[in-house]
C-alpha cells in the first residue's frame, strides 16, 4: 500500500493541504502520507473558494505523493486517478456518481466531494503533489452559501463510521494511484471521460460573459474540456475558461 502507509491525525487544522505543504518543507515524509483532521478553520477550495465542513462529520484529508513518472505536462492524470478513486469508493454505497470537470464529484445534481491538487514542479519533474479531498459523509445541514451540497448519508440513508470510510477510501485511491504509476493511462482517461457529468448532453455553458449551448465530447491529453457547439465545431477550454450553467 502506498496511499495510507502513514497516517497523521490532527483534531483541528487551518487546512490539511497547508499542513501537508508545511510538513513537506522540512521532513522527508513517506509517499502516501495522509494528513487528516476533524475540523478545518481555513479549508481551501479551487481558486479563491473556501471549503466548509461541520466538525467531526466528514472526511478532510490531504495525501502526499511523489509521482516521479508523471511529467508536469501530464499532471491532469493525477486528478483523473484521484477522481476515479473517490468514485470507486462512492460506488460501494451508491452507484452513478459523476465527475463534474475538472474534479468535483457529483451525485445527481449535488456536490459530494471536492478535490484540490497542489503540485510542486521543479524543472522537468513534479517534486511532490498534495492531493486534498473534502468528502461529505454524515453532514445533513449545510450553510446557505454552499451551493448544491450533498452527503453520503443523504443518499444512502444511513450514518457512516468515518474510520471505516477512511480506510476504504484510501484503499480505493491506492488502486487508482498504482494504475496511474504503472498502468495504462489512456484507459484511466477513458474511464474518467465516461464518468463526466453531462457527457454528450446538450446543455448551457458560459465562457466569459458569453452563454452557449453545447455538449461535452471528451477531454484533451492536458485535461482541457472539449465541447461541441451547435455548429458542429469543437472548442477546447482550460480550467476557469468555461463553466456549466446549472
Summarize as ranges the residues that interact with ligand BTN (CB under 6 A).
15-17, 40, 43-46, 49, 51, 60-62, 104, 114-116, 132-134
**Nearer CB in complex with ligand BTN: 54/125:** 54
Counting every residue written for the chain, the total comes to: 246
Mapping DSSP onto H, E and C, the string for 134-147 reads EECCCCCCCCCCCC
Count of H helices and E strands in the chain?
A: 5, 12
Number of alpha carbons in the 13 Å side-chain half-sphere of residue 88: 19
Least Å distance, CB 174 to ligand BTN, is: 18
**Nearer CB in complex with ligand BTN: 52/228:** 52
Least Å distance, CB 166 to ligand BTN, is: 13
Cell numbers describing residue 1: 500500500
Q: Which residue is nearest to ligand BTN (CB)?
A: 114
**Nearer CB in complex with ligand BTN: 17/224:** 17
Least Å distance, CB 36 to ligand BTN, is: 8
**Nearer CB in complex with ligand BTN: 100/176:** 100
For residue 159, the SS3 value is coil
Least Å distance, CB 109 to ligand BTN, is: 15
Least Å distance, CB 120 to ligand BTN, is: 16
List Cα–Cα distances, 230 to 62, 112, 197, 201, 223, in angstroms: 40, 31, 19, 12, 22
**Nearer CB in complex with ligand BTN: 195/214:** 195
| Cα-trace Rg, the chain | 18
Amino acid at each position: 500500500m502506498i496511499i495510507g502507509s502513514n497516517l497523521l491525525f490532527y483534531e483541528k487544522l487551518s487546512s490539511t493541504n497547508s499542513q501537508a505543504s508545511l510538513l513537506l518543507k522540512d521532513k522527508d515524509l513517506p509517499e502516501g502520507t495522509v494528513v487528516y483532521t476533524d475540523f478545518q478553520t481555513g479549508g481551501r477550495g479551487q481558486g479563491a473558494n473556501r471549503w466548509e465542513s461541520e466538525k467531526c462529520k466528514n472526511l478532510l484529508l490531504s495525501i502526499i505523493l511523489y509521482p516521479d513518472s508523471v511529467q508536469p505536462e501530464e499532471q491532469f492524470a493525477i486528478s483523473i486517478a484521484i477522481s476515479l478513486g473517490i468514485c470507486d469508493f462512492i460506488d460501494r454505497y451508491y452507484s452513478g456518481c459523476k465527475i463534474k470537470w475538472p474534479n468535483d464529484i457529483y451525485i445527481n445534481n449535488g456536490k459530494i466531494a471536492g478535490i484540490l491538487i497542489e503540485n510542486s514542479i521543479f524543472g522537468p519533474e513534479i517534486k511532490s503533489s498534495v492531493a486534498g479531498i473534502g468528502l461529505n459523509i454524515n453532514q445533513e445541514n449545510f450553510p446557505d452559501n454552499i451551493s448544491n451540497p450533498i452527503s453520503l448519508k443523504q443518499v444512502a440513508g444511513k450514518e457512516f463510521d468515518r474510520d471505516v470510510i477512511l480506510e476504504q477510501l484510501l484503499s480505493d485511491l491506492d488502486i487508482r494511484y498504482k494504475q496511474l504509476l504503472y498502468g495504462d493511462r489512456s484507459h484511466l482517461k477513458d474511464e474518467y471521460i465516461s464518468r463526466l457529468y453531462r457527457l454528450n448532453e446538450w446543455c448551457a455553458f458560459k465562457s466569459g460573459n458569453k452563454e452557449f449551448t453545447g455538449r461535452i465530447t471528451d477531454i484533451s491529453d492536458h485535461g482541457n474540456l472539449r465541447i461541441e457547439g451547435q455548429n458542429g465545431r469543437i472548442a477546447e477550454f482550460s480550467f476557469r475558461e468555461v463553466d456549466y450553467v446549472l
